[in-house]
């Protein structure tokens, strides 16, 4: 089982309750604002939107902080509305 949340506070609280893996789900704006070094203190990994993975050196920074990467959205919007 993996605990995933967009809420930092929820993951910080869950950290005190269980050792299950915690994934911090992130929107693009959150990826700009959050320090991955800080995220590594309360989560085992991060869950960006799939587009966020390829921005800047995101994967290298995640790896250097020993964070797993679990994208949370993988879809082709054009297929959904045709």
What is the pLDDT tens value at each position of the chain, 82 positions in all?
999 999 999 999 999 999 999 999 988 777 777 889 999 999 999 998 877 787 788 889 999 999 999 887 766 666 666 5
Q: What is the pTM of this model?
A: 0.82
Q: How far apart are CA 58 and CA 39, in angstroms?
A: 13
- Alpha carbons within 13 angstroms on the beta-carbon side of residue 3 total 18
Where are the chain's structural domains? 3-80
Any idea which residue has 């991060």 for tokens?
A: 46
- Alpha carbons within 13 angstroms on the beta-carbon side of residue 51 total 6
Q: How far apart are CA 22 and CA 2, in angstroms?
A: 6
Sign of CA dihedral 40, 61, 59, 6: positive
């Amino acid at each position: 089982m993996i605990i995933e949340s967009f809420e930092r506070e929820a993951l910080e609280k869950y950290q005190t309750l269980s050792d299950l893996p915690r994934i911090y789900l992130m929107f693009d704006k959150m990826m700009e604002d959050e320090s991955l070094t800080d995220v590594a203190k309360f989560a085992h990994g991060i869950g960006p939107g799939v587009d966020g993975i390829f921005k800047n050196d995101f994967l290298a920074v995640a790896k250097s902080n020993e964070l797993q990467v679990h994208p949370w959205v993988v879809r082709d919007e054009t297929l959904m509305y045709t």
